[in-house]
């Protein structure tokens, strides 16, 4: 079975579209129609990614993103926000709340699937880096306290620089979809140009 994606969307047509699209690409999609159930369903389903509508009745997607990022079990799960509003200020608020990705409606199917794939890959890379860090931690802790030298300090400084650089590259690679007016073909051509340059 494929990676698990929780889809929180109150619009029935959009919910079906997202779930069908994800299912067709090998993902296991779990629909949630009522945002008030999202946290409980996320804990039970343990998704690899959450696709979150922002404009919902009862509770906003922004509130849900903040609640998920404050939850010990869910905070590492990447969230891709989906909204009909594409104003710059809205995107900043959504990212400040903790969403790793952002797409605006109307959605290009090709770019939507690509954004999902990229977020899942970035999350897997972060988990791998964290696992490597955890494996090396016991060795560092086993050193006697008086064994600390200037070389040890500089080595730890290098590690922190590498870590922050990795996080910056994650943010730089995040994929935003155009709000409208561009076709999937035009988007693809732009990507090729960017890669060539």
CATH number at residue 61: 3.40.50.2300
Give the pLDDT confidence score for residue 166 in this predicted structure.
33
Domain presence at residue 142: no
Is residue 157 one of the residues assigned to a domain?
Answer: no
Residue 42: the pLDDT is 97
Helix (H, G, I), strand (E, B) or coil at 112: helix
- Give CA–CA dist 177/44, Å, rounded: 30
User: What spatial distance separates the first Cα and last Cα of the chain, rounded to whole Å?
Assistant: 38
Q: Is residue 133 included in any domain, yes or no? A: no
**145 assigned to some structural domain:** no
Q: Is residue 138 situated within a structural domain?
A: no
Average pLDDT, integer, range 56-66: 94
pLDDT greater than 80 at residue 136: no
Would you state the pLDDT for residue 86? 64
Confirm whether 132 is domain-assigned. no
Mean pLDDT of all residues in 83-104? 84
* Range in 79-88, 121-130, 135-144 with the lowest mean pLDDT: 135-144
Range of the domain at 14: 4-122+166-196
Number of domains comprising the chain: 1
Output phi, psi for 48, to 5 deg: -85, -20
Q: Which of 181, 182, 177, 187 is nearest to 81 (CA)?
A: 177
Q: 2 or 30: whose pLDDT is higher?
A: 30
Task: Tokens for 109, please give them.
Answer: 């199917």
Q: What is the pLDDT of residue 1?
A: 63
Buried b (16+ CB within 10 A) or exposed e, 141-177: eeeeeeeeeeeeeeeeeeeeeeeeeeeeebeeebbeb
- Classify residue 156: in a domain, yes or no: no
Does 54 map to a domain? Answer: yes
Question: pLDDT tens, 146-169?
Answer: 444 444 443 444 443 333 333 333
């Amino acid at each position: 079975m494929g990676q698990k994606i929780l889809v929180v969307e109150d619009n029935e047509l959009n919910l079906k579209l997202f779930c069908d699209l994800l299912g067709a690409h090998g993902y296991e999609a779990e629909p949630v129609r009522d945002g008030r159930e999202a946290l409980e369903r996320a804990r039970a389903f343990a998704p690899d990614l959450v696709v979150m509508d922002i404009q919902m009745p009862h509770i906003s997607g922004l509130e849900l993103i903040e609640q998920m990022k404050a939850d010990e079990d869910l905070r590492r799960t990447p969230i891709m926000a989906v909204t009909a509003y594409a104003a710059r200020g809205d995107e900043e608020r959504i990212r400040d709340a903790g969403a790793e990705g952002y797409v605006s409606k109307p959605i290009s199917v090709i770019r939507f699937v690509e954004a999902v794939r990229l977020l899942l890959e970035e999350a897997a890379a972060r988990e791998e880096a964290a696992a490597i860090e955890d494996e090396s931690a016991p060795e560092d802790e086993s050193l006697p306290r008086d064994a600390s030298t200037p070389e040890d300090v500089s080595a730890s400084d290098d590690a922190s620089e590498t870590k922050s650089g990795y996080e910056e590259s994650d943010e730089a690679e995040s994929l935003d979809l155009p709000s409208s007016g561009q076709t999937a073909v035009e988007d693809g051509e732009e990507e090729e140009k960017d890669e060539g340059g």
